[in-house]
Structure 1
Amino acid sequence: MTATLPHVGGIAADEPVYRILLIEDDDADALLVEELLHDTELRFELTTCASLAEARSELTARDVDCILLDLHLPDVSGTDAVTAVRAMTAHTAVIVLTGLSEKQAGSEAMAAGAQDYLVKGKVEAELLRRTVRYAVYRSHSERAAAEAQSARQRAEENARLERGLLPPPLLDTSTVTVTTRYLPGAEQALLGGDFLDVVEDDDGLLHAVVGDVSGHGADAAALGVCLRIAWRSLVLAGHHGTELLRLMERLLLAERGTQPLFATCTLLTLDQQAATATLYLAGHHAPLLTTSEKTLEVSAGHGVALGIVPGRHDWPATVVPLPASGALTLYTDGLTEGHNGDAGGRLGIEGLLPLIDTTPSGDPAAHLDSLIRRTRALNAGRHTDDLAVLRLGWDFHPG
């Protein structure tokens, strides 16, 4: 494999530098192509490989704008060469170099995915210049169109998942303020297996859940949707506490099939008349209780995650007295497992609590947005996990 330094011809300095990979095993032909490129007055960087294997290694290490491909290589030939190169880099311009006797090779190569073809011995500098520029322009247009289509598909899938994972709260007479936030772990990623929901039953009790299915991607998201819908249906049907968790675990076992998925969750029932919250923790974090003075993690009994030890059904209840004014925050571990800036290690609950108390809390939505921005700034992209947060705020008035 050989490489040349960038070549600058006698054209405008704002002309792009084309990164060109020549895959050609004949040294004489490779030299002719290089000389022709110099005559085009294109600005270019040229790397030459003598086989598909060398090219694969080069394409793994760096991006290129255009590939000049001979159809007869030591390890592949004909349209198989085009197919193999396109598989390695689907949106890079490919120009095939054919022999004088290969009348059909060029059109067959284009049918296999090449942008254009040139016949060796009949290529002039001007033709090569126009062919390279047009092929690169066309490949960039194809890539932009593919990325736009992919973005539309992600947006559509996220919208469908959001309807399943993040339904609007089902409230009637409750005066509790419900604020939610959900962010995928990576930029442009699909929503994952985190889920949350809030409903008010006929007795005026407010029920909430925040959960997290292990793993990422479509399977975790699909199971999260199933569990969230099951939770809402079961709560409205009158199931609560240990019985509710038992039925959710039964559904999880049926829906996960042979996949080793499990789920953690926090169930909360808020009684506004009694000013209490009843908690059940299935392998999940305890909520955070914010009062007029500070924010603390609620002390609560812990039980096993759903699907870890099927049939154990060990989920103790914890009743928490509530202040006249305050908030409970339920969240998934995307909020605490990121890095703690330059301090080293994970943020954890110890790092999160001071952030909450130093984040302006006048408006619940602005408070959550600011808190999430601060945790993500500290993490600086080093840890990626989905994040779901549910905040319930209240101001009870006697009588």
Structure 2
Amino acid sequence: MAELTVHVPGEEPAADNHGELVVLLVEDDPGDALLVEELLADSALPARLQWVQSIGDACGALKAGRPHCVLLDLHLPDAQGLAGLARVLRTSPHTPVVVLTGLAEEDSGLAAVAAGAQDYLVKGRVEPDLFGRTLRYSIQRKQAERAAAALREERLRAQENARLERGLLPSPLLADTDVEVVARYRPGRAQALLGGDFYDVVQAGDGVVHAVIGDVSGHGPDEAALGVCLRIAWRTLVLSGVTGPELLRQLERILTAERSHPELFATVSTLALEPVRRRVQVMRAGHPGLLLRSMSGARGSEPLVDLVEPAFGPALGLLPGVADWSEEELRLPGTGALVLFTDGLFEGRTAATGSARLGEDGLTALARTHAHLPGPRFVDAVISGVESIAAPGGGLADDVAVVHLEWGEAR
């Protein structure tokens, strides 16, 4: 006799030591209960019957350990008609229910199916084979319903993540310029929840190229939505002419108004690059430094990569209305690039140490080994390099965003 194996990830039904199915019978009539017991014994279903006589006892049994199926009489001391079915479904919505009706109550059986039962059986008209098939099919249909619901939910989540990612990671808004932009985003290996890393690049009417990169603390739809909000607000403010510390103050006002709970904060780096004058104004709100690539300069034509860490203030949202930030001007080489990144690029643990993080110094050393590569290849090589030296488990531990801004003849 073949046994029916039921497996539902994350919520296992109860079973005895012999691997039999557990069928919970809710029936107050001892004679009808004996009839069900005989039907189960004569069927081809390897199952054990657990008998209770009221809805209250049934709910207690369901909370103690979920059976594979419930056989439910519609006339009980503490529930009549569909009220009992509703209580069972509320207590254990993932357990299939087959209702038991009298000879003149087929309409009640149909109503029960419409209300959430998997099937119904008419007392006195059930043969052992039909009884066994009904229970088997009810269990299998419930599994199929759960699998289909999980698939629909996963598809909806994937669609929502895609919409959020499009908001977090826009196309640069540039006119004719001497700056070439390379942007990359890599999700963390967990991929269970969407992160709040974001970036944007726009060019103002005076030719200055503005860029931002940020990271909202935590992972999930609330954090991602807040990242989208900050990114859009930053673009709007910059194109409206708001720059300098006032830009970060306005972003913080928006963050504190839109965040879902007061613990949320965001680190941000924003810059205003003047490629013709070879200078850049940088502000940091709790964000990591940036890499400066020099393709030429006083030390000759050998490509160089250095970590620069301009002055910074606290992350947005940590000290609302109190924090302040200042701009720092950097002089730039004749040809070169600035590389903005989120902390996922250097906070992962390395295989060489097992516990120590790569850190910004380690990232800089890695970037120097690829200093001779053109922009797109340089960015991809650095990200791949970080992935390759990750500790066992592989991949990036957190989401990573990278923006590479290159100017001059070397681009």
Task: Work out whether the TM-score is over 0.5.
Answer: yes
**Counterpart residue number, 1:4:** none
Aligned counterpart for 1:55 among listed residues 48, 55, 62: 62
- Find the partner of 1:306 among 312, 316, 319: 316
* 2:214 partner SS: strand
Task: Specify whether residues 237 and 95 from structure 1 end up closer, same or farther in structure 2 by C-alpha distance, changes over 3 A only.
Answer: same
Secondary structure of 1:197's counterpart equals: strand
Q: Distance in 1 between matches of 2:187 and 2:348?
A: 14
Normalised to the residue count of structure 1, the TM-score between the two structures is 0.75
Give the structure 1 partner of residue 152 of structure 2.
Answer: 149
Aligned residue in 1 for 2:281: 278
For structure 2, the residue ranges without an aligned partner over 5 or more in a row are: 8-20, 53-57, 295-301
Q: Select the residue among 209, 213, 232 that pairs with 1:210.
A: 213
Query: Which residue is equivalent to 1:117?
Result: 120
- Equivalent in the alignment of 2:408: 396
Contact 2:350 2:391 in 1 (8 A): no
Q: CA 1:294–1:138 in structure 2 vs 1: closer, same or farther (change >3 Å)?
A: farther
Counterpart CA distance in 2 for 1:371 and 1:77 is 67
What's the counterpart of residue 69 of structure 2?
67
Structure 2 CA distance for aligned equivalents of residues 97 and 377 of structure 1: 58
Does the C-alpha gap of structure 1 residues 35 and 185 become closer, same or farther in structure 2, counting only changes over 3 Å? farther
Distance in 2 separating the partners of 1:209 and 1:48: 63
Aligned residues: 377
What amino acid is the match of 1:344?
A: S
Is the CA contact (8 Å cut-off) linking 1:181 and 1:368 kept in structure 2?
Answer: no
Aligned partner of 1:194 among 188, 194, 197: 197
Q: Distance in 2 between matches of 1:288 and 1:336?
A: 12
Report the Cα distance in structure 2 between the residues aligned to 1:146 and 1:375, rounded to whole angstroms: 39
Name the residue aligned to 2:381: 367
The partner residue of 2:5 within 17, 20, 25 is: 17
Equivalent in 330, 352, 359 of residue 320 of structure 1 = 330
- Distance in 2 (alpha carbons) for counterparts of 1:300 and 1:276: 13
Deviation, 1:337, is: 4.4
Q: Contact 1:303–1:314 (CA<8 Å) still a contact in 2?
A: yes
Is the aligned partner of 1:158 residue 2:169? Answer: no
In the superposition, the TM-score normalised over structure 2's length comes to 0.73
Aligned-pair CA distance for 1:52: 2.4
SS in 1 for 2:65: helix
Change (3 A) 1:129 1:154: same
**Of 227, 238, 243, which aligns to 1:240?**
243
Instruction: Tell me the secondary structure at the aligned position of residue 284 of structure 1.
Output: coil
Once the two structures are superposed, the pairs formed by residues 103-142 of structure 1 within 5 Å of their partners are 105-119=108-122, 122-142=125-145
- Quote the offset at 1:262 in angstroms: 3.0
Distance 1:297 1:47 in 2: 70
Shift of 1:227: 1.7
* Letter in structure 2 aligned against 1:271: E
User: Given residue 70 of structure 1, which amino acid in structure 2 is its aligned partner?
Assistant: L
Alpha carbons 1:206, 1:269 under 8 Å: kept: yes
Mark the structure with the bigger radius of gyration: 2
Identical-pair percentage: 44
Aligned to 1:176: 180
CA-CA distance at 1:209 after TM superposition: 0.8
Say if 1:118 and 1:230 are closer, same or farther in 2 by CA, change over 3 A: same
**CA shift at 1:344, angstroms?**
2.5
Deviation by residue 1:342-398 (Cα, 9 ceiling, x = unmatched): 713655445655665678966256436635744777556996x5x241221426239
Change (3 A) 1:340 1:372: closer
CA contact (8 A) 1:210 1:388 kept: no
Partner-residue secondary structure (3-state), 1:231 = helix
The amino acid of 1:396's aligned partner reads G
Describe the superposition over 1:199-244 as per-residue Cα deviations: whole angstroms up to 9, x where unpaired. Answer: 1223332211112234444433333222211211221222222121
Distance 1:246 1:231 in 2: 11
SS of aligned partner of 1:273: coil
1:143 maps to a residue whose letter is R
Cα pair distance change 1:337/1:145, threshold 3 Å: same
8 Å Cα contact 1:67/1:95 also seen in 2: yes
CA distance in 2, matches of 1:227, 1:377: 33
